[in-house]
Amino acid sequence: MRAVHRHLFPGDSAAGQGIVWEWQNDEGGWSPYEMSLCVRLERAHAGRHPRVDLGPLGYDYEVDLGAQVQTNKATGFRRGVRRRPGPPYPPAAPLAAPPAGPGCSCQQCWAGGVPGPIPARSRHAAGAAPAGPAFLPYSKPAPPAARAAPRPAAHAAAAHAAAAPPPPAPAGTAPPAANGVSLPTLPVKMSKPSKVTQALAGISAILMSAAGLPAHLSCVPAAATTHRATKKHSSVKEGRKVAKKAAPTEPEAVVRRYLEEVKGTPPEQDCIICMEKLCCPSGYGDTSQAAGLAPELVGRLRRCHHHFHLLCLLAMYCNGTQDGSLQCPSCKTIYGEKTGTQPKGRMEVSTFPQSLPGHRDCGTIQIVYHISRGIQGPEHPNPGLPYTARGFPRRCYLPDNEKGRKVLELLRVAWRRRLIFTVGTSSTTGESNTVVWNEIHHKTEMDTNLSGHGYPDPNYLDNVLAELAAQGVTEDCLRH
């Protein structure tokens, strides 16, 4: 759970007038600035100021309002900008004061890429960020809830959520989320339209969550530039080779490895994949994946003891990454070694003596992730299409103590298994086919925690250990 709050803008500001300022992205489209930047640009435009320095708001850019160009002050790279009318924010009730709290609407918690003007460096001003996502002209469908409605409606909703592109959102509407984390829309291959394959599409969209949890980037303080010569590199290629070598070739063998067949009468309950009673045949008997298995067969997963039709589990596995692992769709227990869809890249680790707030008794570990743009593979949402990599290299920090070093080693395992990033849609910018964080939070700021992604945070190391465990990365992985 996270606290949230409203940010109020004057009626004569850009928000009150419905003015939106946008910057031109690498694909030739237009992305909106955060509302705090829109307000600043509109104020300068109204005052006939020729240029606006965005440095005070955390961005190393200068905007030439006359030429409608944004310039990176460090590299000289230029982008087009434009001003356009849009729907204004809704007026607030007179007595509605924003509650106190650290509210967070930044990119990491919205599971998307880099907000604001752009790539190399990104920070947001505390207090202004919560307004940002509400002005983005994108929305994502809510995750399907298999048991939330009568079956026909549930099947239709699941199919729509898994296959339909996200519709434009009305002004002032933030992307929907589940427990603070937006879920992505992934195309699901279906051999033939049926209510069973439609229900599987919804389940698969949850299990194959490709929206990652991105983070804010900040420059390393001057004191941090003098690290010891302790850099180490870890390539994702090694993990990809291991996963490929270890993965079984027969989907049926994988499914049978992790469950035991139920003899006699199955339990009086539904199979949550196809939403049919376990005592009834699975609807996957007419698919090519069902060869050799009777539709009536029911299995029980060995550790969590949840029951499903064998054909339903087989279809779910074949619709996933087919990496030799299986995840229970009911309790999320992982069987085998889960691997993700992270693009190739490099993980670099170094240390320096400067301490993090809350960890004054030790130095700091810095992790730098390098990923470049490329072409999507068969495991990605749109094979053959290019993907972008915004904001790389991304720098993250851990305390250089016993628990911090343990987290580092587990992050190395997650990196090798391709679990830290994925290719999906940014909930912050709405950009699709881009590299985003994948449900393992990182601390990307050293000297402040106003955004929720810095220090001090006494619970962070325990929280990230829990997130790693949810991906199947535990201390047991370090013993093998």
Q: Is the pLDDT of residue 229 over 50?
A: no
**Within 10 Å of residue 348's Cβ, how many Cβ atoms?**
16
Give me 21's structure tokens.
């300022």
Is residue 389 included in any domain, yes or no? no
Q: Which domain CATH number covers 275? A: 3.30.40.10
Domain boundary among 74, 98, 122: 98
Is pLDDT of 125 > 50?
A: no
15-59 per-position pLDDT tens digit: 888 899 999 987 778 889 988 889 889 999 999 999 999 887 778
Using CB atoms within 10 Å of the CB of residue 233, give its burial: 0 to 12 exposed, 13 to 18 middle, 19+ buried: exposed
CATH number for the domain that contains residue 45: 3.30.720.50
Whether 245 has a pLDDT exceeding 60, the answer reads no
Domain final residue pick, 72, 98, 124? 98
pLDDT of residue 286: 61
- Report if residue 260 sits inside a domain: yes
> pTM above 0.75?
no
Residue 245 carries which side chain, given as an amino acid letter?
A: K
pLDDT grade, residue 361 (50/70/90)?
very high
* Residue-wise pLDDT tens digits, 284-317: 766 544 456 788 889 889 888 899 988 888 888 8
pLDDT at 223: 35
In the chain, what percentage of residues exceed pLDDT 90? 29
More confident site: 223 or 349: 349
> How many domains does the chain contain in total?
2
Give the Cα separation of 125 and 39 in Å (integer): 13
Q: What is the mean pLDDT of residues 253-278?
A: 86
Domain end, chosen from 284, 306, 322, is at 322
Within a domain: 296:
yes
Q: Is residue 108 part of a domain?
A: no
Residue 151 has pLDDT above 70, yes or no: no
**Domain membership flag for residue 259:** yes
Residue 215's pLDDT is 39
Report the pLDDT value the prediction gives residue 243, as an integer from 0 to 100.
43
Residue 179 lies in a domain: no
- Cβ neighbours, 10 Å, residue 301: 21
Domain that holds residue 265: 251-322
CA gap 437, 448 in Å, rounded: 21
Structure token digits, residue 87: 């729907």
Q: Which of 103-107, 330-334, 369-373 has the lowest mean pLDDT?
A: 103-107
Q: Is residue 369 part of a domain?
A: no
Q: Give me the percent of the chain exceeding a pLDDT of 70.
A: 65
Q: What is the mean pLDDT of residues 170-197?
A: 43
Four-CA torsion 44, 70, 211, 100, nearest 10 degrees: -30
Is 23:30 a contact under the CB 8 Å cutoff?
Answer: yes
More confident residue, 125 or 250: 250
Q: Would 273 be classed as within a structural domain?
A: yes
3-state secondary structure the chain: CCCCCCCCCCCCCHHHHCEEEEEECCCCCEEECCHHHHHHHHHHHHCCCCEEECHHHCCCEEEECCCCEEEECCCCCEEEEEEEECCCCCCCCCCCCCCCCCCCCCCCCCCCCCCCCCCCCCCCCCCCHHHCHHHCCCCCCCCCCCCCCCHHHHHHHHHHHHHCCCCCCCCCCCCCCECCECCCCCCCCCCCCCHHHHHHHHHHHHHCCCCCCCCCCCCCCHHHHCCCCCCEEEEHHHHHHHHHHHCCCCHHHHHHHHEEECCCCCCCCECCCCCCECCCCCHHHHCHHHCCCCCCCEEEECCCCCEEEHHHHHHHHHCCCCCCCEECCCCCCEECCCCCCCCCEEEEEEEECCCECCECCCCEEEEEEEECCEECCCCCCCCCCEEECCCCCEEEEEECCHHHHHHHHHHHHHHHCCCCEEEECCCCCCCCCEEEECCCCCCCCCCCCCCCCCCCCCCHHHHHHHHHHHCCCCCHHHHC
**Residues 6 or more apart whose Cβ sits within 8 Å of residue 240:** 344, 418
pLDDT bin (cut points 50, 70, 90) of residue 330 is confident
